Every structure is written in structure tokens, then in C-alpha cells.
Amino acid sequence: MKSEQRLIDFANETLIGQYLTRKERDIIFSYLEDVKDKLLLDICGGTGRFANPLYMKGGDIVVLDIDSVALSVLHKKNSAISLVQGDGQKIPFKNSIFDGILMIQSVEYIPDIDSLIKECGRVLKERGILLINFSNKSSYKRFRLKRKNYSCSYYKSYGITYREFKDKLKGAGLVIEKAIGYNWAPVSRMSNCKLILFFSVLEEVLRFEYLPSISPWVFIIARKSISKKKIYKK
């Protein structure tokens, strides 16, 4: 995971990486606009790309990552953020304590996605929000890479379809509020192609965000449903 974390940090500095960071930050901040007095968990938060700005907005945030090197880097950036070395497949916290969870560009590195999503549902409070994204196996990019006979992890990372991911969320008691498709630019994750700005504008103009089922990447906003027992009591 250490080498993977450093690869992610490097990729975020490319032109496509900068575009993705802006896109993801806009979505996160639109749903976590008021984070004061909210307890948040950033799974695989690494060096704090999103945790640090959320902390600066007043959020009480915990970063969970298996990579001690990444956590050390974040500690040097901001020693006030709570850091926990651990695994998202077995979150080391009690039930129903977090108001929000985010997990960005990391699902592909988790062997057991079912355990991950169930754990997110377990530690979220009722009506707590989950912000999570993944690369979509049923997108054109995955098939494009397959035709080119890519054997790299970039191709293999497209390991789950939008429909499969939705089913897993539902099974964990999480209800999707919105699914946003993005990253349609026909370039790799490490690209510095000068046309990326053009592709990002075209993506917005053509409203590709409304096509999550075939989008290369999907950003999902989901909430933990209220238990049936409480509904019946009302």
C-alpha cells in the first residue's frame, strides 16, 4: 500500500489529477458545506488531500490509512488531525459514531469491497452521509484498455460495475442520493495532455455526469437509512 499511496500522490500532480481533485473537492464541499461539530472519517485519507481542507472548515476529522508513511506526511502538515493506522475492511471504531465518511480514489485498492461498505454502514450514524467514488467496470474506458491489452493495474482497477456497487450499498443499508459520472477524458491517470481542460469543459456541456452507469468514474453520495424499528415507533 505504501508504494500505491505514493503513486496516488504523484498522480494528483498531473493535469488530469488536478482536474479530478478540483471535481472531487467541489462535490465533497457541496455535501459537507457545514462540518462544524461534525465527526468525519476519511478512509485511505493518505496525506490529507481532502482531510486538511475539511479540518480548516471546522470539521472534526479522523484519517484512517494503512500506510504509516502517508500518515507521517500528514502529521507534519497538520498535527491537529487525528490519525489512525488501520484497514477500511475492519474499521476500528464503535457503531454509529460518524456523521460522514469519505473515501476517494481508493476503492480499487481494497480486496473485499463488501466488507468495506458494510463497515461504512456500521460506523455511520443514521442519516450519516457516505461520499465515495470508484472506477466503473462497465465504462468505455475499461473496454478501451482491454482492447489495447493493458495488463497494468490501471486496467485491472476497473473491477466493479455501477449496478454491482449500488447493490452492495443497498445491502449495507445505504441509500443513494446522487450518482455523478465523470473523468471521460480519453487519457490515462498519469496524463499531462494539454487538451484535458477542453475535455473537462466538454464533459460539463454534454452533461455526462447524468450517465453514471457508463461513466469511467462514478462519485456516489449515499446516506444510512433510518432503522425500521424507529420508523414503527413514530
State the amino acid at position 231 in one-letter form. I
Between CA 124 and CA 98 the distance in angstroms is 5
State the amino acid at position 200 in one-letter form. S
According to the CATH classification, is domain 2-223 in 3.40.50.150?
yes
Question: Which tens digit of pLDDT belongs to each residue from 45-82?
Answer: 999 999 999 999 999 999 999 999 999 999 999 999 99
Residue 220 vs residues 88, 102, 145, 165: alpha-carbon distances, Å? 17, 10, 24, 10
Mean pLDDT of the chain: 89
Specify the long-range contacts of residues 165-173, CB closer than 8 Å, at least 24 apart.
165/113, 165/134, 165/218, 165/220, 168/113, 168/114, 168/117, 169/117, 169/130, 169/220, 169/222, 171/114, 171/117, 171/118, 172/117, 172/118, 172/120, 172/121, 173/121, 173/224, 173/225
Question: Which tens digit of pLDDT belongs to each residue from 182-217?
Answer: 999 998 888 999 999 999 999 999 999 999 999 999
Phi, psi of 91 (to 5 degrees): -70, 125
Give the domain ranges of the chain: 2-223
pTM of the model: 0.88
Q: Torsion angle, CA of 173/211/44/63, rounded to 10 degrees?
A: -70
Question: Which tens digit of pLDDT belongs to each residue from 78-132?
Answer: 999 999 999 999 999 999 999 999 999 999 889 999 999 999 999 999 999 999 9
